[in-house]
Amino acid sequence: MKKQMVKNYYISRKPKLLKSFDKTAGLLRDSIVSRYGADFADTLYREVRQEYEALIPQIPHIEGIRAAPLNTFLVISAQELAVYKVMKKEGKTAGEAWEICHDALRLRMEKVPKIKRWLLKRLMYSSFVKKRMQRRAEENQKLRFGDFEVRYIMGDGENFDFGVDYASCLGGDLQFVQSFDILFSGRHILLFDRVCCF
């Protein structure tokens, strides 16, 4: 069954999304100041916030409980895309942009109570989840979430345990999603997964 893609879902949620962005920016400020100085930190905050605010109406939202992780990924990715665009405009590299994004994810995860992080890790690496991932990977099953088609993959247990391959995006949101490819080369996306799980 195809999950429906909802347009303009986040417009009414913009104040909440910007409040969350501001909280993360506050956590990051010292790190950015130590790398680039206070003036650059102020410019980066202001311009990234404007860029993110402009992206919010474009963020696709997928209905359905099973789509929740993908929706979270899309919202975070919009923030990271805003960072990348501003850093590029300022003459910085994708790697430097990713360092800021990685720090943001790490600092936000540190604010999650330890017991919740422990429970999430236990769930994600439980035999139940691993078996489901293994079964879906063996079936080479592609699932549809809105315009997205995903496939589950198993790792070797050394480099990574399991993951999701966003195989394709069909329809009107293709351009929005493709813009993430600029930032998310393989190394960077694996770091995102690692930060979220630990």
Q: Name the band, by pLDDT with cuts 50, 70 and 90, for residue 169.
A: low
Tell me the chain's radius of gyration from C-alpha atoms. 17
147 to each of 61, 166, 190, how far by Cα in Å? 10, 11, 23
Statement: residue 182 has pLDDT above 70: no
Residue 83 has pLDDT above 60, yes or no: yes
State the Cα–Cα distance between residues 48 and 50, nearest whole angstrom. Answer: 5
Whether 105 and 192 have beta carbons less than 8 Å apart is answered as yes
Domain boundaries, the chain: 5-125+175-197
| Confidence band for 180, pLDDT divided at 50, 70 and 90 | low
**Cα–Cα dist 192/140, whole Å:** 24
Looking at residues 67-81, what average pLDDT do you find? 83
**Which pLDDT tens digit goes with each residue over 9-46?**
899 999 999 999 999 999 999 999 999 999 999 999 99
Q: What are phi and psi of 146, to 5 degrees?
A: 60, -125
Return the higher-pLDDT residue of 18 and 196. Answer: 18
CB-based contact 6:64 (threshold 8 Å): no
Give the integer Cα–Cα distance in Å for 83 and 48.
6
